[in-house]
């Protein structure tokens, strides 16, 4: 059984371990500053093991933005990511968000569609050169 906790205690070690497993180029960070700037965040636990995370930032109005949706590789394809996104939508709506945005790669279109998102065109401007490290 998976437990989803909104704005639960932040454990940097557990979050960095999750991101290290899910993102090959992850560099350990202090998650406290990231969650402090969030409208909210959601943690997914199987027993006591952190298996998922997502956070939403806001514009101070009716727009929210999904950031860092992450599921441990051993827990992927078990509906955890989709449930995290649906839980984020529910929590965002409860906070007055009317539009929930997310950027994703084309190969993830079906995953996000299952969570209720539809593809839209958007603009992007890179402000710093790509890092090669």
Contact 95, 65 (CB under 8 A): no
Banded model confidence at residue 10, pLDDT cuts 50, 70, 90: confident
- Condensed to tens digits (0 to 9), the pLDDT of residues 32-80 reads 988 999 999 999 999 999 999 999 999 999 999 999 999 999 999 999 9
Q: What pTM was computed for the model? A: 0.90
List, in order, residues 6 or more apart from 73 with CB less than 8 Å away. 21, 22
Assess whether pLDDT exceeds 50 at residue 133.
Answer: no
- Condensed to tens digits (0 to 9), the pLDDT of residues 92-111 reads 999 999 999 999 988 999 99
The full set of domain ranges for the chain reads 2-114
The per-residue pLDDT for 16 is: 96
- Rounded to 5 degrees, what are φ and ψ at 78? -125, 20
The per-residue pLDDT for 49 is: 96
Q: Quote the CA–CA distance of 80 and 86 in Å, as a whole number.
A: 10
CATH topology of domain 2-114: Aminopeptidase (3.40.630)
Residue 123 or 71, more confident: 71
């Amino acid at each position: 059984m998976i437990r989803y906790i909104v704005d639960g205690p932040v454990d940097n070690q557990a979050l960095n371990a999750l991101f290290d497993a899910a993102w090959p180029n992850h560099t350990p960070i202090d998650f406290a500053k990231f969650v402090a700037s969030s409208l909210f965040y959601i943690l997914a636990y199987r027993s006591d093991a952190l298996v998922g995370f997502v956070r939403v930032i806001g514009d101070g109005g009716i727009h929210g933005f999904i950031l860092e949706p992450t599921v441990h590789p051993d827990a992927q394809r078990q509906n955890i990511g989709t449930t995290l996104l649906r839980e984020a939508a529910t929590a965002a709506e409860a906070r007055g968000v009317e539009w929930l945005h997310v950027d994703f790669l084309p190969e993830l279109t079906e995953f996000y569609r299952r969570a209720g998102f539809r593809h839209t065109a958007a603009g992007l401007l890179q402000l710093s050169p790509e890092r090669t490290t």
